[in-house]
Structure 1
Amino acid sequence: MPETDPSSGKRPEPVPRTLGRRVLAAVCGTMLMAMMALTVCDVIGRYVFAHPVTGATELTEMMLVGVIFLGLPAVSLDRDHVAVDILTDRLPGWIQPWRELLVSILSAAILGVISWRIWIYAGQIASYGGATNSLRLPVAPLGYLCATAGAVAAVFMAVVALRDLRR
């Protein structure tokens, strides 16, 4: 949840919902519903018919990774990352914008490094044709998707930090 502005006591306004964010939300929601339906079918198949859905675990894992990484840019735009503010609420109000800037830039840098490493790792997986065990689905495209989404989230994090600093 975004922190309140110390000078006014109000939360900063989120960035307006764009078509792209609505599409991402729809894709993530659809993937969550598909994971739920797949899990229900797998459990019923496993315990009622003694025949689980082949590859259910792989598909669920891949969809979960997709939901998490596709959600990162929207979370970065809204500043909805999980935050523990045990000490930071006690800091003087004039420090808060600078603390926010430092944390956001540091978070952007960390997301950038993670994205870079995922991209390299996806390239390694692609080089030997890495695939899932039972369905033989290629893993590298998912890695590239995660790296791209993480890089977009890093850029958004830096942009939001600079936007908030200008206020």
Structure 2
Amino acid sequence: MQRTNGLAHSTIVLWAVRLLTLLSSLALAVLLLATFAGVVMRYVFSAPILGGNEIVQLVSVALVMLAMPAAAQNDDHVRVDVFDGKLGRWGRFAADILSRVVSVYLLWLLTSRSWAKMWDAVEFRDATNMLNIPLWPFYGLLCLGALLYAIVLALQLLDVIRPGVTQND
């Protein structure tokens, strides 16, 4: 069920999430084309694409990390509510708060470490082995996706804590 109110759906967050979702969609298209071309080249022409795995791996990072904020914003993540009935209203409230606090903290760690790694990759000119693709843009995309994901979850945390905001049960 998609939420339609709250801070996580403010205009600037919506536009940021839409932009990352568009970039994620482009990454999916590149991934599909690269995979298709790789299969055709390998099995039809017996000439595999040099570095095809590198392309798939790097584009997969962009695809996943840029799609995660939208999944969080729209509550599209897979979750199991086995304990919801046993926890009761206050237990669910506490679990919502705890899960978001832990998630924001872990995403903040991921953001800060990927930010540092991005600048290391710039400084040392880290690149892939076969195609020599610079790695820093992909660390940057990882950082951007994790940061926006953390922001969405932090805003959802405020929505959970704020009185008057309806929650999904």
Normalization by structure 2: what TM-score?
A: 0.81
1:149 to 118, 139, 145: 145
2:76 to 75, 80, 87: 80
- Residues 111-134 of structure 1 deviation map (CA, whole Å, 9 limit, x = unaligned): 111111222222223222110112
Q: Are the counterparts in 1 of residues 3 and 74 from structure 2 also a CA contact under 8 Å?
A: no
Q: Which runs of 5+ in 2 are unaligned?
A: none
CA distance 1:68–1:111, change in 2 (3 Å): same
**Structure 1 partner of 2:116:** 120
Identity %: 25
Q: 1:26: Cα distance to partner?
A: 2.7
User: Which consecutive aligned stretches of 4+ in structure 1 deviate over 4 angstroms post-superposition?
Assistant: none
| Residue correspondences, number | 158
Structure 2 counterpart SS, 1:142: helix
CA distance 1:22–1:118, change in 2 (3 Å): closer
Whole-angstrom CA distance in 2 between matches of 1:21 and 1:125:
26
Q: Which runs of 5+ in 1 are unaligned?
A: 3-10
Q: Are the counterparts in 2 of residues 129 and 138 from structure 1 also a CA contact under 8 Å?
A: yes
Structure 1 counterpart SS, 2:90: coil
Whole-angstrom CA distance in 1 between matches of 2:71 and 2:93:
19
Q: Are the counterparts in 2 of residues 42 and 56 from structure 1 also a CA contact under 8 Å?
A: yes
Q: 1:19: Cα distance to partner?
A: 4.1
**Structure 2 partner of 1:162:** 158
Structure 1 or 2: more helix by fraction: 2
Tell which has more relative contact order, 1 or 2 (C-alpha 8 A, sep 6+): 2
CA RMSD of aligned residues (A): 2.2
Q: Structure 2 matches for 1:19-98, cutoff 5 A?
A: 19-98=15-94
CA distance 1:84–1:147, change in 2 (3 Å): same
CA distance 1:33–1:144, change in 2 (3 Å): closer
Most deviating of 68-77 and 81-90:
81-90
Whole-angstrom CA distance in 2 between matches of 1:12 and 1:149:
20
Normalization by structure 1: what TM-score?
A: 0.82
Structure 1 counterpart SS, 2:119: helix
Q: Are the counterparts in 2 of residues 28 and 70 from structure 1 also a CA contact under 8 Å?
A: yes
Whole-angstrom CA distance in 2 between matches of 1:75 and 1:90:
27
Q: 1:12: Cα distance to partner?
A: 4.3
Q: Are the counterparts in 2 of residues 108 and 157 from structure 1 also a CA contact under 8 Å?
A: yes
